[in-house]
Structure 1
Amino acid sequence: MTLSVTRRTRLSTTWLILLVPIVLLLIAAPWWAGRADLRLMGEIALYMSLAILWNLLAGYAGLVSVGQQAYVGFGGYLFFALTMLAGLHPYAALPLVVLAGFVISAPVAVLIFRLRGAYFAIGTWVVAEVFRLSFAQISSLGGGSGTSLAPDIVRSLADGRDAREAVAWWLALGAAALVLGTVVWLLRSRQGVALTAIRDNELAARSLGIDIWRTKFTVYVVVSGLTALIGALIFLQKLRISPDAAFSANDWTAFVIFIVVIGGIGTLEGPILGTLIFFALRETLADLGTLYLIALGIVAIVIMLFAPRGLWGFLRDRWGLELFPLSRRVSGLAKKEA
């Protein structure tokens, strides 16, 4: 009797086929969407990227960070420094931001990995505050009041405002594709199997020979470098940066956690669904002022009461839905040996 083990399902195969025309349609967005629509779509892509990365950190590696704004702000400030002070072209500065994110996060990880549970979460927030206070002291980047990206740097992206908006959108879309592709590749690798084992039972994973510290360290460094890239693109869109905006716990961590929680932590599809829900609520309820935040809180509470694992977690548990082929399944009919 033989059985086959596969990752694909009929739904995931159909989704991957449909993903091709969807991506092509998004690439062509500058020809069918307005300037405001491109900005909104770019913001959605960047928030989705942050949510996917935070979900990898917390939902798979068990590293619940409330200080990822440290790398958003670091990426934004480093991008401004490389372009305005070092004279690099924006396209050349972006990969250096990623590499710098990898480098700076390594000693930070060594430090905060000594902490556990709530102490780890608080430690990540303290690191973010240290970053914020440090960059607020750099007078060449505006100090505490911040600075704006020089007009000649903005014009170097493309000729004309419409072209620059298109380039900003393509960069955001490319970053989202890079983040999603990296996370899918990581979760399908041996490292992903180790992460899943750590998430399910860290003690059992250690007893099977999995290097817990190294696995979490790798994930933390990868997530930090890519988060720095997203931070650079966020402030490339905004064209201005300040310590309070760059290291805002509310914008870059609280909203991201909300997105992952309502979408489904520990699932790849959850952050995508959560981002779409978050922006639908924001665009619908933003005119309500402070009631908007109350409404978000009510939505989160209701979902956590009736679907503790998030909306996609509920759908996956109930119907086994999975758009991206990550989980292994036993399939095939039994065959008699000849």
Structure 2
Amino acid sequence: MTIHRWTWQSKLTFSLAAALILILALVPAFASDSVNERLTVLFIYVILAAMWNAMAGYGGLVSIGNQLFFGLGAYMTIRLADAGINPFAAMLLGAGIIAGLSWVLSLFMLHLRAGEFAIGMWVLASIAHLCVNLDPLIQGETGTSLISLNAYAIADRRMMIFWAALIGMVGLLALLFAVLRTPSGLAMQAIRDNEEAADSIGVNPMRTKRLFFVLAGFGTAVAGALWLAQVSAFQPKTYFSVQWTAYMIFMVLVGGLGRFEGAILGALIFFAAETWFADTGVWYLIGLGAAALLFSLLLPKGLWGWIATRTGVSLMPLGYRVQMETPSK
């Protein structure tokens, strides 16, 4: 009997992922502007899904207010860029500041449980929206733009935003993967399943949940900053809209709650649905709601959860596997 993490499927997955990342890095050199822009949107969706899944899927911190971090990430980028900081440096620095803010929020938010935490996050997002509206730079709901990006030529700017989104997605996925392979990652999943039982065996629930809360805050703020760079315009009601969290929930529910691969798969499905059906207007939103309901009823583990259960395939070496070896005669 041997215990291992890596399987031939996971080794193949990492090899293909490395090749895909290399190919994507070269896309701006030969693809059209529309393709670059759409891929940038896809990268942002993957970040959003992975960060919400980190909180809810692995930590049991179900939130309907993650637009708080998304909106503040964009707002902080606007503020720092207005102070004279390079816009791309402002995106990373702003996300770091929001990570610090999320640590402060965790001091009292993590004492809330279940529905209280979910509603509390939504309330914080609404308060942040109102506060941002009071900033003279933002001009209320009129909003403003990331003007400092105009210092770059349009072609160069699009290429830099594409690479920033790709690096952000790969970096955050790698960071989440590394955290999930640590004892803290295992502890977080134990807390999600039964916090009292985890506490009884020496796990520190508050410290472990805080780690994932701050990680999700940082990653979602990065996504908000990247979205701002992509569209340039900042209107508080758009960035602090609950629709962003609704999109995150949809992607994770469809792909597979609590599964690393599920968040990525869900983002791909949502991206495809948006690309093909967004022009149908209200029917598109009705379709998303109906699809989320059907998946919740028929495939509660999501599409990847169903695939993994039926096939036993594991692409990400997060847990341990026991392999029985037949003794040789």
TM-score bracket relative to the smaller structure: over 0.9
Whether the 8 Å contact between 1:264 and 1:309 is mirrored in structure 2 is yes
Counterparts of 1:162-311 in structure 2 under 5 Å?
162-250=155-243, 252-311=244-303
Q: 2:149 aligns with which of 149, 154, 175?
A: 154
Given the two structures, how large is their TM-score scaled by the length of structure 1? 0.93
1:46 counterpart (44, 47, 52): 44
Aligned partners of 2:278 and 2:140: how far apart in 1? Answer: 31
Q: 1:333, CA displacement in angstroms? A: 2.3
Deviations along 1:8-67, whole A, 9 cap, x unmatched?
111111111111211111001102221011111101100110110000000111100111
Q: How far is 1:143 from its partner?
A: 2.4
| Amino acid in structure 1 at the alignment position of 2:277 | L
One-letter amino acid of the structure 1 residue matched with residue 285 of structure 2: L
C-alpha distance in 2 between matches for 1:287 and 1:231: 23
Of stretches 184-193 and 110-119 in structure 1, the one that deviates more from structure 2 is 110-119
Listed one character per residue, the Cα deviations across residues 141-166 of structure 1 (whole Å, up to 9, x for unaligned) are 2223110121xx1134x4x3122111
**SS where residue 66 of structure 1 aligns?**
coil
Do 2:68 and 2:128's aligned partners in 1 also have CA atoms closer than 8 Å?
yes
Cα distance in 2, alignment partners of residues 75 and 309 from structure 1: 31
Paired residue secondary structure (2:322): strand
Kindly provide the amino acid, as one letter, of the partner of residue 317 in structure 1. T
Q: Can you give the 5+ residue segments of structure 2 that lack an aligned partner in the other structure?
A: none
Letter in 2 for 1:291: W
1:274 and 1:95 map into 2 onto residues whose CA distance is 26
What TM-score results when the alignment is normalised by the length of structure 2? 0.96
Identical counterparts, % of pairs: 37
Of the structure 1 ranges 12-21 and 297-306, higher mean CA displacement relative to structure 2 is found in: 297-306
> C-alpha root-mean-square deviation of aligned residues, in Å?
1.4
The number of residues matched between the two structures is 328
Shift in Å at residue 332 of structure 1? Answer: 5.4
1:328 aligns with one of 299, 305, 320: 320
Is contact 2:51-2:215 (8 Å) kept? no
Whether the aligned pair in 1 keeps the contact of 2:45 and 2:271 (CA below 8 Å) is no
Equivalence map 1:11-160=2 (5 Å): 11-84=9-82, 86-150=83-147, 153-156=148-151, 158=152, 160=153
Residue ranges of structure 1 left out of the alignment (5+ in a row): none
**CA distance in 1: counterparts of 2:228 and 2:91, whole angstroms:** 12
Matched residue type, 1:222? L
Find the aligned partners of 2:189 and 2:61 in 1 and give their Cα distance: 13
Q: Distance in 1 between matches of 2:286 and 2:221?
A: 30
Query: Deviation of residue 335 (structure 1)?
Result: 6.0
Give the letter aligned to residue 297 of structure 1. Answer: G
Letter in 2 for 1:266: G
CA contact (8 A) 1:81 1:141 kept: no
Kindly indicate whether the alpha-carbon contact (under 8 Å) linking 1:137 and 1:144 is maintained by their aligned counterparts in 2: no
Residues 101, 226 of structure 1: 8 Å contact kept: no
SS at match of 1:5: strand
